[in-house]
Amino acid sequence: MQTRALGPFEVTAIGLGCMNLSHAYGKPPPPEQGERVLLAALDAGVTLFDTAALYGFGANETLVGKVMKPHRRQFTLASKGGMAGVPGDDGMLRRVIDGRPDTVRKNCEDSLRRLQTDVIDLYYLHRWDKQVPIEDSVGAMSDLVRAGKVRSIGLSEVSAATLRKAHAVHPISAVQTEYSLWTRNPEIAVLDACREIGAAFVAFSPVARGFLADALHDVSTLDAKDIRRSMPRFTPENYAANLKLLPGFKSLAQEAGCTPAQLAIAWLLHKAPHIIVIPGTTSVEHLQDDVGAASVKLDATLIARLDALINEKTVKGQRYSAQSASEVDTEEFASVA
């Protein structure tokens, strides 16, 4: 598989987002299934594995640590802090964004323990805590680099302005943000900002949370705890409108000689050489399909047709609810359908 630069590392252009194995899309698969997916990714040549303290409130890091420890020298390990599970008054864990330096350091120590490693190759601030100057959070992360606990640092879901402030404190190796045909926000500014400072752009949800993989036809079948239930694009009315885009998309995949998921990922890889893609899945079959996107070649005409078919003007609904949107720092288009 082709490789791309990620800070001081050279990683496969397609990595594995591990979140799905423990978090977000309803009841997670059994650990044994998660283990099969992780090892299948390794066998397929994937060299970037991405997790976070938040995913499963530590369960995902624990799984990755247990399964991947014997293979630690074979891949680049990324994790995230600054957003984790904190016990409430009832003892139940709740997601809390906290970018205070002491919390960032504690999150890292907890992650190192769960991941069963002495160092995290790429450590992200999962969300910018807007109550804390970005310079303070990144300063704490730079301390972790100097202490040898982290090799490089990144940011998730930030604007170009925040990225530049952070980069002035310590070199930022990567920005991770949702990017796909139906989520074009990075094209406003942060994608170019990454290129300018020499950072990689790591695209999560490249197949639009299953939409571009032609994997979800009826939103009423979603698990009660599936995060897509709170996303405007997945309301019955909006999703019905969005499904009308799929026949044309599938036709273009046929022309390209690939599957819909491969077309979505290949489109991203053709966009810019500093983009790395981290699809997530609970299926070995889907994993192998995703990785196959690395060999898909797209000509400029087909890319232009894709751009015209699915974009911020043709997709119905915003990507996040008002609450979730308030927690990120990404640029937004002036108006969203």
Q: Are 61 and 111 in contact (CB under 8 A)?
A: yes
Q: Provide the residue type at 326 as one letter.
A: S
Please count the helices (runs of H) and the strands (runs of E) in the chain.
12, 12
Q: d(Cα 226, Cα 278) in Å, to the nearest integer?
A: 20
Q: d(Cα 122, Cα 150) in Å, to the nearest integer?
A: 7
Helices (H), the chain: 31-43, 59-68, 101-115, 134-146, 160-169, 190-197, 236-243, 246-256, 260-271, 284-291, 300-309, 322-326
Q: How large is the C-alpha radius of gyration of the chain?
A: 19
Q: Are 63 and 34 in contact (CB under 8 A)?
A: yes
Q: Is 57 left (phi over 0), alpha (psi -120 to 50) or beta?
A: left
Q: d(Cα 163, Cα 331) in Å, to the nearest integer?
A: 12
The residues assigned a catalytic role are 55
The first and second tokens of residue 96, run together, are: 């809390």
**Other Cβ atoms within 10 Å of 224 Cβ, number:** 7
Residues in CB range of 75: below 8 A, 6 or more apart: 42, 46, 47, 48, 49, 68
